[in-house]
Structure 1
Amino acid sequence: MRTIAKLENVSKTYKLADDQQLEVLSQINLDVQEGEFIALLGQSGCGKSTILRIMSGLIKPTSGTAYQYDEKLQGINETISIVFQSFALYPWLTVYENVRIGLIKRQLSSSQEEQEITEAIRLIGLGGHENAYPKELSGGMRQRVGFARALVAKPEILAMDEPFSALDVLTAQNLRAEVIDLWKNKEGTFKSAFMVTHNISEAVSMASKIMILSSHPGRIVHVIENKMPYPRNEKSPAFLALVDEIHGLITTLNLPDTPKEHPISKAIFENAESKAFENIPYVQISRILGFLEVLKDDNGRTKIFELAAKMKEEFGSVISIAKAVEILNFIETPGQDVVLTELGRKFIEAESTNQKLIFRKQLVLMKLFRLIIDKLTTLKTLAEDDLKVEINNRFPYENADKMVDTIVDWGRYGEIFEFNADLKVFTQFEDSV
């Protein structure tokens, strides 16, 4: 099969405030061949959309090379059309006029344009709505306009960035089936599809190949060939088994039973004291409390993916919350299970004042919070910028701004320091340890 698009050793680093370097992608290698439907699966913030944009030529990699066929990509990859999560329609244009935008590069005559637009509108089920404006359409119909606009460009790759996540369950299910039909029957003219998603069932339902991306920085860590025939029965044993397998892979990747050590971190941090600093997930207190309440109501033990369903949260978000709660020793995560510890039960069943005391004691045990407390004891104040320097030194691949936001949220709740958001300065809490 011919390779339509390829990324070779692609990495992407962003320069943040204070000259902080944030690597979001590292050594990405993938190709999209004719006839493939690839789903790129990973939790929010792992760099999935960045990969799609680099492949499409919307942004450039920091290192590595993007290819269109066998040629290095120069500018926009015109073999790719993108369907975005947010619909991205012009509100002052009709359905017909919004779809027509997809023809800008094709330079057709007026009669050819009309024929192509009418056909795209027919294929995607928008007949009769040509003269409607986006505000007159439901979310599902607006997303159909986005698909029609992408299809009218006659792409070889239909790229989709979380295209169904803003839709209700039934609308998303119907539209997914229609996209598969267009791809399989070649009515949509696109030869291949590349979809970014955080939805495991969606990936298993649609893709012929599933790639799982790790986080901080994003790396492709698993590639799964999905050979189930279409249309796929989401209740079949084979479908459910693959969903469970992927749940297990993502859970193990993000909540390993044995803590993993990043090879680059090992080279940077030579002493045991530095290695022991905890990497704090970007999770707010309210979400920790909600997570523990749901777990308590489930008798203190459940599967992580079942917990995500009960919380009505995406699986990746629940993984991040579980990481945070495990750092606090409120849960254990053997295999795919989440188990409330004795301390965790004591915490979630306590009244508000005692919850804060328990939380405070756990923070004091964490080296990063201990460092802040020690500096405040000595210096009385700590500038936010100085804390970011400490974070950058210990966690070069993390977003220091987001980590500081989490530290402030946790520290205020545990009442171990005060933080002046105007002056961006930490000070001692009156009764802090």
Structure 2
Amino acid sequence: MTHTTFGDVLLEIDGVGMSFTAADGERLQVLDHIDLNLHDGEIVALLGRSGSGKSTLLRAIAGLLAPTSGQVRYRGKPLNGANPGAALVFQSFALMPWLSVQDNVELGLAARGVAPRERRERALEAIDRIGLDGFESAYPKELSGGMRQRVGFARALVLEPDLLLMDEPFSALEVLTAENLRTELVKLWATKDFPTRCICVVTHNIEEAVQLADRVVVLGANPGHILAEVAVNLPRPRDRHTPSFAALVDHLYGLLTGRDAETSSTRPDLGTPVTTPLPDASVGGMAGLVDLVHHGGDRVDLPEIADDLNFELDDLLPLVDAAAMLGFLTAESGDVLLTEVGARWATADIQESKRLFAAQARHRAPLVRTICSALAGSSDRSARADFVLDLLRRSFSPQDAQRQLDIAIDWGRYGELYDYDTDSGRITADPAAGL
């Protein structure tokens, strides 16, 4: 079939909210009042940053998570369990290592009670369609990452689902392999006998969303909510070097990072370490970005910088978030602008640079502010790092909690606010910081 026009509604997401109970009993809202329809004949990208709940939303569509409020309906009927018309492709491949390629592809059919002969025929057809003919008896350990993901695609497509749901399916692959698989997926989608009617893909990669989708649903974070829906009216195959492609990337980037300039530059973020986690960015990385903006005339187009540096745009976004959190930069549409304090930081000597950074981090970075408050309230101006870590673990995974603490220690050390002793496990205020 062709996919130039969209048909009937296959799935309705009506006022869906999702919340979970944290370890301390507090309710954490992950999704808030999501309204969205998926149609026959379209590819939809769910584009969002960390904390936007895009993977949670995909699992609600798959029927793997029940919404706390609202309803998900497949072909007009409320979901009360796994979606019978959906199949999932995961980022991590999720293959059974003790099963051959063919056995992995047959798994879903076996679970549905399909007879062995029909299972075999359908599995071999799917394997051939996805370009793995000849590897039927191979085991996952014998395959490259790209080939393992092809098995994941075949395992989903063999079910002939109405909805093919993909959760960051290319992000675990190296760049050229990912690009090749994206191109092949678009070619398969254009074939008349493609066995699925709608694709919904979760991604944080703006260019990937524009390359694949007919419609991009942009999600905001904390809690996840729909910021905008953007139609991609570009013919396939799409050339990322055309002005129209670049314009859409710029527009989506602006939606993802757009902030009120006055608010960002003059008022500290009043969030908490949970609602406003520290972006995964080093001080040196931030300083490098601020320096680039300064030498670019205090205003630059970030997609152009990413292209010049041969980096993905998404690799630079944590640096933008961190510099914006600290008031050194603001984001406006597709551009990044230097603030007055950012200009001072870019031109300061090392000691003034540390002083400026400390002042901004102490007031604008929630976790740094929390640590400073704990140190100020202690008689010996010290605190156990495990105390901070335990608080973070109530809302973050153990790995994310540790990463948040590591970033806060890195920022605090640079600003000479506090130091951390790995032997004692204690964070101690710097005497000169006045805590």
TM superposition score normalised by structure 2? 0.81
One-letter identity of the residue aligned with 2:243 = P
SS of match in other structure, 1:96: helix
Structure 1, residues 122-173: CA drift from partner, whole Å, max 9, x if none?
A: 1101011111111211111111110000011111111111111222333222
In structure 1, which of residues 353, 361, 366 is the aligned counterpart of residue 359 of structure 2?
Answer: 361
Matches within 5 A, 1:86-235: 86-235=92-241
CA contact (8 A) 1:198 1:314 kept: no
One-letter identity of the residue aligned with 1:283 = P
One-letter identity of the residue aligned with 2:412 = G
> Structure 1 residue 410 and structure 2 residue 411: aligned?
yes
CA contact (8 A) 2:290 2:346 kept: no
CA contact (8 A) 1:43 1:315 kept: no
Change (3 A) 1:226 1:347: closer
In structure 2, which of residues 65, 80, 92 is the aligned counterpart of residue 59 of structure 1?
Answer: 65
Mapped to 2, the partners of 1:367 and 1:107 lie a distance apart of 54
The aligned counterpart of 2:278 is 282
CA contact (8 A) 2:279 2:321 kept: no
CA contact (8 A) 1:289 1:348 kept: no
One-letter identity of the residue aligned with 2:288 = E
Deviation at 1:224, TM superposition (A): 1.5
User: Percent identity of the aligned residues?
Assistant: 39
> Structure 1 residue 324 and structure 2 residue 322: aligned?
yes
Change (3 A) 1:421 1:81: farther
Deviation at 1:215, TM superposition (A): 0.8
Change (3 A) 1:88 1:309: farther
Mapped to 1, the partners of 2:242 and 2:281 lie a distance apart of 39
> Structure 1 residue 302 and structure 2 residue 308: aligned?
no
- Larger displacement relative to structure 2 (332-341 or 344-353): 344-353
CA contact (8 A) 2:91 2:167 kept: yes
> Structure 1 residue 251 and structure 2 residue 257: aligned?
yes
The aligned counterpart of 2:433 is 432
One-letter identity of the residue aligned with 1:289 = G
The aligned counterpart of 2:3 is none
Mapped to 2, the partners of 1:160 and 1:413 lie a distance apart of 40
Deviation at 1:191, TM superposition (A): 0.8
Mapped to 1, the partners of 2:377 and 2:129 lie a distance apart of 69
Change (3 A) 1:9 1:388: farther
One-letter identity of the residue aligned with 2:285 = G
Q: CA RMSD in A?
A: 3.4
Deviation at 1:96, TM superposition (A): 0.9
- Larger displacement relative to structure 2 (378-387 or 86-95): 378-387
Deviation at 1:91, TM superposition (A): 1.4
SS of match in other structure, 2:433: coil
CA contact (8 A) 2:251 2:334 kept: no
CA contact (8 A) 1:83 1:160 kept: yes
Any unmatched runs of 5+ in structure 2? 1-6, 393-399
One-letter identity of the residue aligned with 2:284 = L
One-letter identity of the residue aligned with 2:37 = D
Deviation at 1:68, TM superposition (A): 1.9
The aligned counterpart of 2:395 is none
Matches within 5 A, 1:233-272: 233-252=239-258, 255-259=259-263
Mapped to 2, the partners of 1:149 and 1:245 lie a distance apart of 35
TM superposition score normalised by structure 1? 0.82
One-letter identity of the residue aligned with 1:277 = L
SS of match in other structure, 2:38: strand
Q: How many residues align?
A: 410
Change (3 A) 1:133 1:332: same
CA contact (8 A) 1:79 1:157 kept: yes
Mapped to 2, the partners of 1:135 and 1:400 lie a distance apart of 32
CA contact (8 A) 2:278 2:365 kept: no
- Larger displacement relative to structure 2 (168-177 or 139-148): 168-177
Mapped to 1, the partners of 2:91 and 2:375 lie a distance apart of 45
One-letter identity of the residue aligned with 1:114 = R
Mapped to 1, the partners of 2:286 and 2:110 lie a distance apart of 48
One-letter identity of the residue aligned with 1:256 = D
Change (3 A) 1:378 1:348: same
- Larger displacement relative to structure 2 (210-219 or 349-358): 349-358
Mapped to 1, the partners of 2:132 and 2:167 lie a distance apart of 21
